[in-house]
């Protein structure tokens, strides 16, 4: 049990650490993938078609809180907004 806790903490920390690192690099918006395929910037409430933004996969790991694999992506929009998107599948 102790070993599993250590692994859980390490994987969850790796995702968190990557998000913090990206925020320090200027990826300051948080994006949400909507059911219609658009991305929503939480900070500005702007919606973007997924094909109109640049998406790069940065990290992935197992999240024991949600019991799913999470992929950390960077998003850059045409108007200069940049941020982070967490999803259960990789986008490229």
What is the average pLDDT across 88-92? 84
For residue 84, what are the contacts with CB-CB under 8 A and spacing of at least 6? 19, 22, 23, 27, 29, 30, 31, 72, 73, 74, 75
pLDDT for 3 beyond 70:
no
For residue 11, what pLDDT band results from cuts at 50, 70 and 90?
A: low
Q: What is the mean pLDDT of the chain?
A: 88
What pTM did the predictor assign?
Answer: 0.82
pLDDT tens by residue, 36-67: 999 999 999 999 999 999 999 999 888 878 88
């Amino acid at each position: 049990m102790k070993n599993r806790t250590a692994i859980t903490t390490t994987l969850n920390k790796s995702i968190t650490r990557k998000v913090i690192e990206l925020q320090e690099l200027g990826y300051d918006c948080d994006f949400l993938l909507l059911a219609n395929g658009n991305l929503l910037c939480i900070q500005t409430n702007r919606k973007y078609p997924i094909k109109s933004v640049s998406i790069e996969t940065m990290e992935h790991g197992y999240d024991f809180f949600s019991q799913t694999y999470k992929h950390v992506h960077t998003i850059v929009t045409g108007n200069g907004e940049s941020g982070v998107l967490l999803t259960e599948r990789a986008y490229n």
